[in-house]
Amino acid sequence: MGIVAAIGVLLPFPFYWWLWTNPQSWVNLCGQGRDPSMMMARVSHVLKAAQLLSLFSVASLSWPPPLYFWPLMAFGQFLNFRVYQLLGEAGTYYGVRFGKNIPWVTEFPFGVIRDPQYVGSVMSLLACLSWVPFQYILLWCLGYVFMMFVESKEDPSARAKSIS
């Protein structure tokens, strides 16, 4: 079960890497008239569900959670919500790589925290350490660090062209 859970935790990261490095392929695959960011969001939600099921399969849930759970989970989810609130679906789901014009955002947490969506997600994962074995949390966090590295190298000339 451990290997299956580890694969489930890592499942989305090759997809995100492929989208980041081959945005035109995704736009072409989505086809004319389909929003590639929305399609990415749909696939991402399915992959996120697989990740969560993988974690639940190895978790030992108990109540009440430790005191560190509440601030980590609350601030982590606040960061994720704030990123989505500021950028919207297109900004959160690689819209800039798919040829969309996403306005530059400088409000908090941008300009204060680098990659706030990943920082928030890591904080939320760390909140679950009392329930989920460390190696699975570490594996998921390493996936986020990998994506932070991949996304730090954005080449505007490699962005997708619309097929409309």
Nearest to 120 by CA among 164, 78, 57: 78
Determine contact, residues 41/93, Cβ cutoff 8 Å: yes
Binding residues: 74-76, 154-155
Binding residues for S-adenosyl-L-methionine: 74-76, 154-155
Distance CA 17, CA 146 (A): 9
Non-local (6+) Cβ contacts of 35 within 8 A are 90
Q: Residue 132 — φ and ψ, nearest 5°?
A: -110, 135
